[in-house]
């Protein structure tokens, strides 16, 4: 697990106020939506805003690519890293 994945897990728990889940309980490859963590579309919007604020990343409109990036903590970390490199 990378430091970025740990940051994302903490961000998920804090921004979505998941009181029953600790960041270390979220598996990096576990699906975030529907099965797995069980987040919904409202959670996705809130998480998108939190990622934008924390990492300064502009997230384009929701499309299949964005859904793929938000699939798991691992895919989110790769997405954030690629956006940071592209903006650098």
Per the domain annotation, does 23 fall within a domain? Answer: no
Q: How many domains does the chain have?
A: 1
CATH number, domain containing residue 49 = 1.10.1200
- Report the alpha-carbon distance of residue 62 to residue 1 in Å, rounded: 27
Q: 3-15 vs 73-87: helix axis angle to the nearest 10?
A: 110
User: Can you give the pTM of this predicted structure?
Assistant: 0.90
- Asked if 30 and 39 count as a contact pair (C-beta separation under 8 A), the reply is no
User: Would you give per-residue pLDDT tens digits along the chain (88 residues)?
Assistant: 689 999 999 999 999 999 999 999 999 999 999 888 999 989 998 999 999 999 998 877 666 777 888 999 999 999 999 988 887 6
What range does the domain containing 62 cover?
3-17+31-87
Per the domain annotation, does 75 fall within a domain? Answer: yes
Per the domain annotation, does 22 fall within a domain? Answer: no
């Amino acid at each position: 697990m990378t430091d970025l994945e740990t940051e994302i897990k903490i961000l998920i728990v804090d921004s979505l106020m998941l009181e029953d889940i600790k960041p270390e309980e979220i598996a990096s490859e576990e699906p975030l939506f529907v099965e797995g963590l069980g987040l919904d579309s409202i959670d996705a919007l809130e998480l998108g805003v939190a990622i934008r604020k924390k990492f300064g990343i502009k997230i384009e409109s929701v499309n299949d690519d964005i859904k793929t990036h938000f699939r798991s903590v691992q895919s989110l970390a790769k997405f954030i890293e690629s956006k940071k490199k592209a903006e650098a």
